[in-house]
Structure 1
Amino acid sequence: MTSKKTLASLAVLVQSGDVDPVALAEETLARVESHNDRAVFIEITRERAEREAKAASERIRAGRSLGLLDGLPVAWKDLFDMAGSVTTAGSVVLKDQPTATADAAVVAALSGAGMISLGRTSMNEFAFSGLGVNPHHGTPRNPASTDVHRIPGGSSSGSAAAVAAGLVPLAIGTDTGGSVRIPAAMTGVVGYKATRGRYAMRGVFPLAGSLDSLGPLCLTVQDAVWADAAMHSLTAPVVRRAEPAELSLVIPETIVFDEAEAEVVTAFEGAIKRLEAAGVRIRRQPFPSFAAIFDLMRRHGALVNAEAYALHRERLDSPDAARMDPRVVTRVRLGEKISASDYIALVEARERLIHETADILNAGELIAHPTLPHVAPPLAPLLADDELFFRTNARTLRNTLIGNFLDFCGISIPCGTGAAGMPVGFLLSAPHHQDDRLLSAALALEAPIRGEV
C-alpha cells in the first residue's frame, strides 16, 4: 500500500475487506517507526494501536462497522490526554506527571468512531509559537522542502509533518493563533480550525482558553469534513457540497498582504482567477477591524500572553523555568505586564470587533486571503538569531491570529507554490458557528483553489 492515501480512499479499502485494520495499523506503525525524521512523533502508542486495530478488524469482519472511519489511523498533538500516557505539551517539565486516566473528549470521540490512535506528535513547547521549533525533541523537517531543513510551522508541527510525509492520513491539532492553519499552509496540507467550542475541550492542555480551538490536518477537505463530524460525535457528516456559482468571497485589503512575498501573492491571485472562472463572486475592501486588533495589542498587550502567563505563572517562578525553551519563557513573561484593566479592555474590544466585522460581510460571504505572507523559512537562521526568530514568529502568526481574535472558523487549502517551490496556503474563513457553511464552500472550491480544474 502506498503512502499519502486519504481517509476516503483508505475507507473504501477497509470497509470492502480488501485491507484489514490490523495490517493497516502495522504498516502505518512500521512507516512511522522507520521514518528518517525522529522529531515528528514524541511517542508511539503501539500497544493501544494494536488493541484498537484488532477490535476494528473483528467488528468489520462481523458486519458491525462503526462507519466511515472505522479502522483508520490518527495521530494526536501532544496536548490531548490519552489514557495510560503522559501529556507533556512538548515540554520536558511535564514528563514526570501522572499518566492520563481517561482520554480527552475528542480522543474518545474518534475512538468511538473506530479510529486507531498511533501516538503523540511533536509541537512547540506549550504550543506557544507559530514556527514549530522545539529544542527538547527536535524540530520536524518540513516534508515539502527539497533544499535545506525548513520549519514545518507550529505549533502543531508534528501533526502537519506526519500528514505531509504520508505517515498518517489524519492528525489532530490545536489552534490558538494559527497553530493548525500555519503548519498546514507551510507543509501543503489541509488544516481546518473549527469555531472555538465546536468540540469539547475536556482533557486538552490549554494555552489561552478564550482563544483555543481544535481541528484536523489531513490531505483533502472531504477528509476534514469526515474528521469534523466524528470529533463532535456525529455518526456521519451532514455537510453538503455547495455550488461555486452560489458563493461569494471578500478579500481584505487591510494587513493580510503587508510585506507578503511576491510569489505568495501570485499563487493566491492565481487561485482567485480560477475561482472567478468557476463562477465565484469576488470583491475586495478594507477591514478596519483587522488593523484595530493590532492597535489594541500595541496598547494593551495580547490576550494569549495574558492567559498564558496566568496558566504558567507558578511554573515561571520555579526551577522548571530553567528547563523550558527560553524563547517560550520570554513570550510568556510578556503577560506579566498586562494589567487587569488592559485585559478587560481587550475582552470588551474583542466583542465589539467581532460584531463590526460581521457587519462588513454581505449575507453568506466568506473571507479569503493568503494563510501566511511567506513560505516556510529555513530553520538554521532562526536558531542562530533570537531577534529574527521573534520577528519571523510575529509575521507568521499575523494573518491567522486575526481569525482567533474575531472567533472565526477557517480552513487552509494549498493553492500553489512560492519561493524554493514551497507550498502556499489559501485561507477561507467565516464568522463563528458557521462551520458547516465554511466546509460546504471549501468542498466546492478546493479543486479550483488547488488548480485541479
Structure 2
Amino acid sequence: MSTVTKSYGSMSIAELSTLLQLGKVDAVEVTESVLSAIESYSDKAVFVTLLRDRALSEAQAASNRLRENRSLGILDGIPIAWKDLFDIEGLSTTAGSSVMAKDPAATKDAAVVDLLKQAGMVAIGRTNMSEFAFSGIGINPTYGTPENPRSTDMPRVPGGSSSGAGVAVAAGLVPVAMGTDTGGSVRIPAAFNGVVGYKATRGRYAMDGVFPLARSLDSLGPLCNTVQDAVWIDAAMRGLGTPLTPRKPTQPLDIVIPTNGVFDGAEPGVVEAFEAAIERLAAGGARITRLAFPSFDELPQLMAKYGPMVTAEAFALHRERLAGADAGGMDPRVVARTRLGEKTTTADYLAIIDARARMTAETEALIAGRLVAFPSVAHVAPAIAPLKAGDEAFFAANGRTLRNTGYGNFLDWCGVSIPCGTGEAGMPVGFLLSAVAHDDEMLLAAAMGAEEVIRG
C-alpha cells in the first residue's frame, strides 16, 4: 500500500499518525516493518523481548478500526516499546535482571500499558535497562549494553536506566519508548542519545504493575522525537481522549538558571551548546535570571550524612533478595550500591524526609512560578570500555551522570530534556527544562512552544 521510504520507527508520532489516519499506510504494514527493523538491527542488546504475536494482533485490530472509520484517535496503530519493568500480561517482569526470570508471569498489563492499548497503541516489545533501574550509565552485564547510535568514534554508553528505550528511539526503531525516572533514567538517555525525554511529576500516572526502585522518587515518562509526541502520550496515560496542553504558554518564558552545582566539572562543549540555546531563547523574548539554589549545595551534604534516599529505599525493597542466593546472580555493582542502603537507619531516613519537605518548599519559593533550566547532563555520553573495566571509574561516572537530573527527583520536579546541540565528538547535549511538582501543563506548553528555538 505504502510508497513511504522513510522508516516508520524514525517518524514522529504526529507524522506517522497522519499517514495512518489518512489511510496512506496500514497499521499491520507499519508493525511488520518496525519488527523487521528491530530484528535486523545489529545491536541485539536494545530489546530483551519482542511481542510479535501481540503486536500483530493489536495492529490488525487498529487496521480494522481505521479502515471502518472507527479510529480511537491520534495514537491508533502507533507502535510503542516498553521498558523491561512494566508488567505485560503473560510474561514475567524481569526488570533487567536474570534473577526475576523465574517469577510468575503477570496476570494483566500494567495500568499505563493498558491505557495506551485502549488508545490503540501497539506494544512492540520490551527494551533493555540497567538492572533493577539502578544506574544512570546503562551497562547491563546480563542482557548486554546497548550502544549509543549517535557515536561515530567508539562504543559509548546509552545512558540509563532506560537504556534500550533511548537507543530504540534514537536509532529509528520505534517512534516512542516508555521509561521510568527515579534519578534521571528518562532524561539521561534522552540527552545522551539526542531525543526528547519527559519525566512527569511523581504520581501523575498510575504505577500499578510497574516494578519499583524507590517509590518516593519513581516517576514515568516517554522518550520520543518531539515534545508534542510526549504531550500526546501524556494525555493517553492519564486516560484522556485528546491532549489538553496548549501549544505555547500565554506569556514569554521566565527561566531561572542555577549558578551552583549543575555546571561543576561540565564539559566546555556542553556549556557552549546550553548557553547558545539560552541566547536564542533570550533573543526571542525569554526572561533569564541566574541565581544560586541553596538546596543544590545542601543535598550532597545531606546524602553524605545519611546516605542517598534512593539507596535506602532500594535496600528495603531488595533486602531479602540480597540475603539469599539471588545476590550471586545480580550485577555486583548493583549489589554493592544497594547494600549501602543498610547503613541508613530509620532515624536517618526520617531526617531525610523532613529535610526533603523543607528544601522542596524553600526551593519552590525561590523559583516563584518560573521554569528552571540547566544541562541535562554535564558531559556527553562516555565510552563504554573504561566503565566496564573498572569499578572506580564506573561509580564516579555514575555519580556525575545522575547529579543534575537527581536534583529534580529529590525536589519532586517534572522535566523535559530537549536536544540543544552537540559537544565532544559530535555527541548530543540535552537542555533540561524543569518545573515544580504538578506544573506539568505549564512545562509541556513551554517546552512545546520553545522546542525549535532550543534545538536551534
Q: TM-score range by the shorter chain?
A: over 0.9
Displacement of 1:171 after TM fit?
A: 0.2
2:431 corresponds in structure 1 to 426
Decide whether the 8 Å contact of 2:179 with 2:221 is kept in 1: yes
1:59 to 2:65 alignment: yes
Counterpart-to-counterpart distance in 2, 1:90 and 1:243: 39
Show the counterpart of 2:306.
300
Number of the residue aligned with 1:380: 385
2:50 alignment counterpart: 44
Contact 1:176-1:207 within 8 A present in 2 as well:
yes
Match of 2:397 in 1: 392
Q: Secondary structure at the match of 1:246?
A: coil
- Residue 212 of structure 2 corresponds to 206
Partners in 2 of 1:245 and 1:310 — Cα distance?
45
User: Which blocks of at least 5 consecutive residues in structure 1 are unaligned?
Assistant: none
In the alignment, is the contact (CA less than 8 A) between 1:245 and 1:279 conserved in 2? no
1:51-450 matches, within 5 Å, as 51-243=57-249, 246-362=252-368, 364-450=369-455
Equivalent in 35, 49, 58 of residue 41 of structure 2: 35
Q: Using the TM superposition, give the Cα deviation of residue 86 of structure 1 relative to its aligned residue in structure 2, in angstroms.
A: 1.5
Local SS of the residue matching 1:392: helix
**Partners of 1:74 and 1:16 in 2: CA distance:** 20
Number of residue pairs the alignment of both structures matches: 450
Per-residue CA shift, 1:355-404, capped at 9, x if unaligned? 00010013x31000000010000000001111000000000000001000
1: CA distance, partners of 2:444 / 2:249: 12
Contact 1:244 1:278 in 2 (8 A): no
Shift of 1:247: 1.3
| TM-score for both structures, normalised by structure 1 | 0.99
- Contact conserved, 2:28 with 2:60, CA < 8 A, in 1? yes
Q: For the residues of structure 1 that align with 2:59 and 2:377, how far apart are their CA atoms?
A: 38
2:21 corresponds to which of 9, 12, 15? 15
Following superposition, the deviation at residue 302 of structure 1 comes to: 0.7
Deviation at 1:244, TM superposition (A): 8.4
Asked if the contact 1:74/1:118 (under 8 Å) is kept, the reply is: yes
Question: Following the alignment from structure 1 to structure 2, what is the Cα–Cα distance between the partners of residues 66 and 85?
Answer: 26
Give me the whole-angstrom Cα distance separating, in 1, the residues matched to 2:77 and 2:335: 40
What SS does the corresponding residue of 1:138 show, helix, strand or coil?
coil
- Which one-letter code corresponds to 2:405 in the other structure? T
CA shift at 1:241, angstroms?
A: 1.8
Higher mean C-alpha displacement, 439-448 vs 236-245: 236-245
Q: SS state of the match for residue 363, structure 2?
A: helix
- Describe the SS at the equivalent of 1:295: helix
> What is the distance in 2 between the residues matched to 1:203 and 1:25?
25
Taking structure 2 as the reference length, what is the TM-score of the superposition?
0.98
Which stretches in structure 2 are left out of the alignment for 5+ residues? none
Q: Quick one: which amino acid aligns to residue 286 of structure 2?
A: V
Contact 1:244–1:279 (CA under 8 A) maintained in structure 2? no
Q: CA deviation at 1:85?
A: 1.5
The 2-side partners of 1:174 and 1:21 are apart by 27
TM superposition shift of 1:254: 1.3
Work out whether residues 163 and 219 of structure 1, in 8 Å CA contact, stay in contact via their aligned partners in 2. yes
The alignment yields a C-alpha RMSD, in angstroms, of 0.8
The secondary structure found in structure 2 opposite 1:427 is: strand
Quote how far apart the aligned CAs of 1:326 are. 0.2
Flag the 1:244–1:383 CA change in 2: closer, same or farther, 3 A.
Answer: farther
Q: Give 3-state SS (helix, strand or coil) of 2:24's partner.
A: coil
Mapped contact 2:419–2:455 kept (Cα < 8 A):
yes
User: Are positions 1:2 and 2:9 aligned together?
Assistant: no
Find the aligned partners of 2:239 and 2:148 in 1 and give their Cα distance. Answer: 32
